[in-house]
Structure 1
Amino acid sequence: MSAPTTGAPAAANSLKELAAAPGLLSLLGWSLVGRLHLSATLVALLVVAADITGSYATAGLVSGALVLGQGLTAPLRGRTVDRRPAARVLMWTSVVYGAGVAALAAVPARAGWEPLAGAAFLVGLACPPSTQVSRAKVAQLAQGGLRRRAFTLQATVNELVLVTGPGAASLAIAGVGARGAVAFCGALAAVGGFGLAAAVRRAGVDAPAVTEAADEGASEGSLLRDPAVVRSVAAVTALISGFAIIDFVLVSWSHQRGSPALGGVLTGVWAAGSAAGGLAATLWLDGAVNLRRRLLLVAAGVALLLPALATPLTGGSPWAVAAALAVGGMAIPPALAALYDHVADSAGPARRGEAFGWIATATTAASAAANPLAGAALDRWGPWAPVAVAVVACCLATGLVAGARRMPAHANGKVPAVS
């Protein structure tokens, strides 16, 4: 294999390759719009529920009910995408979910929070499978180095979703009020779902991958009986749980310092570092991939917070924490891209949607469980303790993929190493 090009020529070649794949950039762009409502709706609904109840703790139960509904049906929606035209599934669920979210804005305040939480749970069950579709169809559309670059760009896009969604909700709240913002989020979900459906059709990957692979037998039996798939799903879950713990630590640590807004700033710095690392990896990283090494780099990046938060070393300076987040965040998108690539190969073309659905369910449940664990550790030992738990979670992800077999060569002949 010839030596890889570096610098501007390599970046230009990567951009040309991404742009040359029919429909790939459109699919990635609409995957951003199709998922933007997820974080935006939580903010808008939280404000509506807080206005009704006067309690952010109770309001959290309402937004949590929406997330619970979304997580419960994620594997079923992913399995449907594996067996039915994706565009049709996206359009029907987008209509039902978008209308349901908009209807949440009309729940009267006198009804109390219980009916609002129950309605939010039911609406969440119909959430469009935008995440499953976008990841499964990228795997269906691209192979080898191109697929890894696409997954890296998608991980970078996800950072934009996390930052842009709450900002869009805040602007909508300022412009049309909290209830109007909830209705806006419903419309956004419908527009994003329809746009992603059109992008999938334009890319020519609307049909289930199992049809193209002529692999009917692969769709039989439970996905969770496959140890390789279970390990890969568990690895993603462990990694995302570690990230959820760090988010909790940043908010809690900032609150303890008497500067609640600092938590948002630090989270933004982490997202910016991650986006920068994702963009750099998309443009310049190529060739074989050592998955364990990338995951260990993520663990090392998270571990940078340990000395940054240590008062004897840095005085607990926010500047030291921000620097650790900016540097450590850069390793996240390349690792997630390689891990999602591993999930796609482990599940096979017939079951990728279901695998990413199980990831959505598992990460939702694990992130919810991670917050109380992080809170208990923080109360007892201080902020370094939950950060240490996050490091362990990242190392666990590395251990879960350590036993994976070497991944088969992709269509371009490159073999990403996982051992």
Structure 2
Amino acid sequence: MDILRFATAGSVDDGKSTLIGRLLYDSKSTFTDQLAAVERASRDRGDEYTNLALLTDGLRAEREQGITIDVAYGYFATPKRKFIIADTPGHAQYTRNMVTGASTADLAIILVDATKGLVEQSRRHAFLVSLLGVPHLMVCVNKMDLVGYDEAVFERIRHEFTAFTTKLSTRDVTFVPISALRGDNVVNRSYDMGWYGGSPLLHHLENVHIASDRNLVDARFPVQYVIRPQSHAYRDYRGYAGQVAGGVLRPGDEVMHLPSGLTTRIAAIDGPDGPVDEAAPPMSVVLRLTDELDVSRGDMICRAHNAPMATQDLDAMVVWMADRPLQTRSTLILKHTTKSARAMVRDLQYRLDVNTLHRDESADQLRCNEIGRLRLRVTQSIFCDPYSRNRLTGAFILIDEATNLTVGAGVIN
């Protein structure tokens, strides 16, 4: 079975954690002791029902405040597919956490409260999902039971959201009216919304096609580690370990090594259980080459006539994650795939208001959770692709040299 990674987003109290709790409960993916603990916590809070949101709100501070602060991960499976859930925060001050949770997602679920309609955070998260290149978006209009399951309310929100997404690069958008608290259209179809002709949420999650979302055209293999066993029996073994970031690699294929530009062929590909006939994203494998080249961590293996950009100058959209503001001319560590190098912020071209999409070209710094377009100068050549073409070779993080903390995340334009 394949794995679908999806993230939930939306404004505060739109019901993200309740939705995930409902998915886990109705798909029978909760343990008896987990459910018993949630029932106890619900009674202690004075709730008149079992609060399924507590299945994911694991932090004590979150349970006391009733909000999601950190990214809570959940795992469950159905006979058709395995799932990894990232329940991300709704508060504006936790934008960086939302970006972290959605950065590896195949699909994003944005919840909209039917009683409130589209709000600022709904637009913010839709923009972030578009910026992060999440291929599939589901808009779940939640709390339909509080508006009498009124089709007109759902249609109004759908039209308003569709009008906003025309400004974004989101390709696949699906709308589902639900009630996470009552379970309507989450796992089972709702009898109170007979006017809705689409599939319940879980059915869509089980059947959405994600295989074609990965780049299988541009062969990209960032080298993570060089394997040279010390055993006498394997004294001639030299392998290059890493995760395939794009394309399909097979033994016998002609490949090129960067930065040297030398070409060779793949002698063999070793997987966790032995030799494999081909490797594609997101497999982690070891490549063996026919020629002895000087290959080290941070190098790239690709096709001779389909190489990534090699550049020291990057234009990128960056989400700033540190409490200390980003200043121009500052120096940071840039980590791209398996390569790390020092980088200087040459210019802040503009700061973006994610609610209005207005560009403030007079901005001279980025504060925590703000997004801007930067021009960076890297001390070594980076082998990259536009993020729209490859999410793995088109993304990077920025690290503070003094504290070694991740202070920013960027996508290359």
TM-score w.r.t. structure 2 length?
0.23
Higher strand share: 2
TM-score (norm: length of structure 1): 0.22
Q: Which has the higher helix share?
A: 1
> Which protein has greater RCO, CA pairs closer than 8 Å, 6+ apart?
1
